[in-house]
Amino acid sequence: MSEERYEPVSCDYHDELEAAAMHKQQVELEFDLEGVTQREKGTIADVYTAEGAEFVKFVGGAGAIDIRLDHIISMRTANE
């Protein structure tokens, strides 16, 4: 995973991500993956901590990927 310093996200945003995971909501995430901005629809399977950073396990069309929370640019739920 990335060597750059992790920037914690707000508690409110963390709670939104956990709620989306708990309710298995369809979301659209815009995120930075290795310097490339991507946008995908899918679900958040888990929110977890590893290697001193927080991550989501996101399951989209390309399968499951792990995304650091500070690399998420935006999240929209399917009903927005």
Give the confidence band of 79 by pLDDT, cuts at 50, 70, 90: low
29 occurs within a structural domain: yes
Asked if residue 29 has pLDDT above 50, the reply is: yes
Residue pair 44/23 in contact by the 8 Å Cβ criterion:
no
18 occurs within a structural domain: yes
Give the confidence band of 80 by pLDDT, cuts at 50, 70, 90: low
1 occurs within a structural domain: no
What is the residue range of 33's domain? 11-77
The number of distinct structural domains making up the chain is: 1
- Residues 33-78 have pLDDT tens digits of 999 999 999 999 999 999 999 999 999 988 999 999 999 999 998 7
23 occurs within a structural domain: yes
61 occurs within a structural domain: yes
Residue 65 tokens read as 């990927």
31 occurs within a structural domain: yes
